[in-house]
Amino acid sequence: MWYDNFLSIYRAGISHEFVLYFNIRDVVDNHRNIDRYLYEEFIKQRNFSIVAFYDISRGLTFLDAGMEREFNKITSNGAADLKYALPSKLFSYIDRALQNTKMMLFIDHIEKIIPAGDISSMSLEERMALIWLCEWSNNARISTVGSTIIMMADNIAEMNSEILKSSYRVEPLLVELPNENKRLEYINYLTKDNNIKMDISVAEFVKLSSGLSKKAIKDIKLKAEAENVAVSFDFIKEKKHSVLQKEYGDVLEFIYPEIGFEDIGGMEKAKNYLLKNIVEPIKKGDLRRVPMGILLCGPSGTGKTLLVNALAKSSGFNCVKIDMARILGQYVGESEKNFKKCLLGAQSQQPVIVFVDEIDTAFRRGDSGDSGVSRNIFSEFLQFTGNTNNRGKVVFIAATNRPDLLDAALKRAGRFDKKIPILLPEEDERAQIFKIIIDKYGFETDIQNFTPFASETTNYTGAEIETVVRKAYEIANEDDIKGCVLTADILREAISKCKPSTQQVEFMTKLAIKECDDKDLLPQKYRTLLDDRTQLDMEL
């Protein structure tokens, strides 16, 4: 918990200046917000002479009138008429108080006072505020008298990063969203009077509310009461989507899949691996088996994205997609800020599947041509994907048909440490795919056995088989006959008209095989290729 970290750092004398960020508007326990919680658990026991609050909209305020008089006395009434002044005029007086008495100073919306960006682009006012805040962190006098400064930011990425450099002693503390145990405790608290109708159990409510703050959970309860409806799966899903879309929709795409593993043909080895090494271990709490990240390699149209969607549905985990088009901004520092928000938003949904499509184009070290933006984002991504604290909580899955273009640092063990080839479907898999796609669209057919058609579609991807089925439906409806049936002749005609179009299938297949690090995940006919990768290198 952030408070335990705060107390440990404070007691050890490591720092007297902190940044609390992220879920800072939530209640800490069942009813107290952060400033009240800190007052009752920390301030009251430590005899602070002055407790003051500052933000640029409300100015400088105090816990009580006696503390304001004490501040005016220390500052010789110099700030008496400057309570609503900007930092450049007020912070020198606050500095005097911090050094001469035991003072607790809360500064809210710190990102509005020292916004992110290059220092050269900051206003004079912002630079002066930044200098004061940095100097306070290293001021031995402030530490000696016991003064403490707590800054609060909803998004630390929007705050100027200069203050977090190691040369300053400012400690950032992440205020996380409530974990499963905290949500259970809070939902039991909310429902203890049985004054709310529920179509689901408390345990299901707890699972469905992952990624939400306690305030958002309470809002679900209040809205259900106001609308006189029961709290249900669909009700929570709708409200949760609204909350998350509002908070992170500008930088993340939320995936709500409609299909599970049973709805996709083939890929049995990949599906089995994902069930045995992601879904089951996470549900059982044994995170040791879970890979840090998974790289899906194979030709376009073989179902890599479909597999991720099916995993999300079959597991019940949250699923988000990183879309770099949402991240990149036109202003200095905006892209980096958006990416940090994106990662924080993804992390807040744990357990969560984070999907990156075409990762070979999404993340590159970049060069000086983009002012270092690509390099900064790549570095941030490396750090996040390599953080072992995320194992089993944030599962990165990336897809590519060109793994040879990926930076070696991304592919190393400890990041994307399992490479799964998703190749062209075998004959029996193609037969499954025909049946599943026809059932998916609800097309009528008198075909019972799809094996003959599978044998006629060698080298077709799953996406191309879907094209064939849709073409067959077009042919069947050419005469506008109601209740058209997909017959064997119609399907064969569609196959003859829809030829494989995926480019460089053989090349991409060999790349995926070469990248594979586990023979068990390869079809039998390809396994011997891994025994002598030099042959693959020569062919590529």
Same fold for the pair 2-175 and 261-421: yes
CATH of domain 261-421: 3.40.50.300
CATH of domain 427-497: 1.10.8.60
- 187, 188, 189, 194: CA torsion to nearest 10: 100
DSSP letter at 170 equals: E
Name the residue with tokens 């200095």: 332
Question: pTM here?
Answer: 0.75
pLDDT of res. 170: 96
Tens of pLDDT, residue by residue over 163-173, are 999 999 999 99
Token pair, residue 307, equals 């597999």
180-246 fold = Helicase, Ruva Protein; domain 3 (1.10.8)
Q: How would CATH label the architecture of 2-175? A: 3-Layer(aba) Sandwich (3.40)
- 142, pLDDT greater than 90: yes
Name the residue with tokens 């890599």: 304
Q: What percent of the chain has pLDDT over 70?
A: 95
Q: How confident is the model at residue 476 (pLDDT cuts 50, 70, 90)?
A: confident
Name the residue with tokens 């930076």: 407
The top-scoring range by mean pLDDT among 420-434, 490-504, 507-521 is 420-434
3-state secondary structure of 332: coil
pLDDT of res. 109: 96
- 341, pLDDT greater than 90: no
pLDDT of res. 158: 86
3-state secondary structure of 29: coil
The residue with greater pLDDT, 206 or 16, is 16
Tens of pLDDT, residue by residue over 269-308, are 999 999 999 999 998 888 888 999 999 999 988 889 999 9
The residue with greater pLDDT, 356 or 529, is 356
Segment 18-29 mean pLDDT: 94
The Cα–Cα gap between 391 and 538 comes to 37
| Sequence ranges of the domains in the chain | 2-175, 180-246, 261-421, 427-497
What's the 3-state SS for 521-535?
HCCHHHHHHHHCHHH
Name the residue with tokens 């080298």: 459
3-state secondary structure of 393: coil
The Cα–Cα gap between 301 and 287 comes to 31
pLDDT of res. 330: 62
The residue with greater pLDDT, 375 or 106, is 106
- Lowest pLDDT segment from 214-223, 243-252, 422-431, 438-447: 243-252
Query: What interhelical angle do 87-100 and 65-74 show, nearest 10?
Result: 90
* Cα Rg of the chain, angstroms: 29
The top-scoring range by mean pLDDT among 45-54, 76-85, 118-127, 245-254 is 45-54
pLDDT of res. 503: 65
pLDDT of res. 483: 62
pLDDT of res. 408: 87
Token pair, residue 427, equals 């004959």
Q: Which long-range contacts (CB under 8 A, 24 or more apart) does 255-260 make?
A: 255/308, 255/309, 255/312, 255/319, 255/320, 255/321, 255/355, 256/319, 257/309, 257/310, 257/312, 257/313, 257/319, 258/313, 259/306, 259/309, 259/310, 259/313, 260/310, 260/313, 260/314
- CB contact at 8 A, 410 and 367: no
pLDDT of res. 395: 92
Q: How confident is the model at residue 484 (pLDDT cuts 50, 70, 90)?
A: confident
The Cα–Cα gap between 199 and 482 comes to 42
The Cα–Cα gap between 71 and 49 comes to 9
3-state secondary structure of 395: strand
Segment 509-529 mean pLDDT: 83
- 416, pLDDT greater than 90: no
pLDDT of res. 238: 86
Segment 195-202 mean pLDDT: 88
The Cα–Cα gap between 426 and 430 comes to 6
pLDDT of res. 314: 86
Segment 18-38 mean pLDDT: 93
Query: What interhelical angle do 214-227 and 233-248 show, nearest 10?
Result: 130
Phi, then psi, of 346 in degrees rounded to 5: -65, -45
The top-scoring range by mean pLDDT among 10-19, 235-244, 247-256, 407-416 is 10-19
Round the average pLDDT of the chain to a whole number and report it.
88
pLDDT of res. 54: 97
Please name the residues in contact with 37: beta carbons below 8 A apart, sequence gap of 6 or more.
3, 28, 29
- CB contact at 8 A, 244 and 251: no
Q: How confident is the model at residue 479 (pLDDT cuts 50, 70, 90)?
A: low
- CB contact at 8 A, 420 and 270: yes
- 98, pLDDT greater than 90: yes
| CA 270 centroid distance within chain | 24
The residue with greater pLDDT, 350 or 439, is 439
Q: Distances from the Cα of 105 to the Cαs of 54, 67, 101, 230, in angstroms?
A: 8, 12, 12, 44
pLDDT of res. 500: 85
Tens of pLDDT, residue by residue over 376-404, are 888 888 888 888 888 989 999 999 999 88
- 367, pLDDT greater than 60: no
Closest CA to 204 of 226, 237, 172, 173: 237
Closest CA to 153 of 165, 170, 168: 170
The Cα–Cα gap between 475 and 470 comes to 9
The Cα–Cα gap between 376 and 366 comes to 9
